[in-house]
Amino acid sequence: MYKIDLKLFELELWFRRLFGQKYLVNLNPKSKEIHRIYGKNRCKFLPSITHKKYVGINGMKEILDDKPGGYNGCYLCLREFDMDKRTMDKK
């Protein structure tokens, strides 16, 4: 990603946070992960996600799903909502 795009992206994240949309949902059907866009645990994968939407805490909890193929917290930045971890525990 070019430097200018990264700056625009930072600006977008800043605006989203301002409106309480603190989470980025990766809509790619192969991923379906939710990432944190703020704080020191902010996800480093954010700039590489192309197919996305932003949600607040309630929207994020609504789409979380522990069924296979459901939306899931990122292992790195949103571990408290990582359903895969739970699925792995069951195995």
Q: Is 13 in the site for Zn ion (CB under 5 A)?
A: no
Which residues have CB under 8 Å from 19's CB, separation 6+? none
Judged by CB under 5 A, which of 37, 55, 60, 77 binds Zn ion? 77
Judged by CB under 5 A, which of 13, 25, 37, 74 binds Zn ion? 74
Nearest Cα to Cα of residue 45 among 33, 57, 61: 33
Judged by CB under 5 A, which of 43, 55, 60, 83 binds Zn ion? 43
Judged by CB under 5 A, which of 35, 71, 72, 82 binds Zn ion? 35
3-state helix, strand, coil in the chain (%, to 5): 40, 20, 40
CB of 22 to Zn ion, least distance (A): 12
Question: Ramachandran region of residue 58, left (φ > 0), alpha (ψ -120 to 50) or beta?
Answer: alpha
Q: Tell me whether residue 22 or residue 35 sits nearer to Zn ion (CB atom).
A: 35
- Token reading at 12: 């977008």
- Residues within the interface to Zn ion (CB under 5 A): 35, 43, 74, 76-77
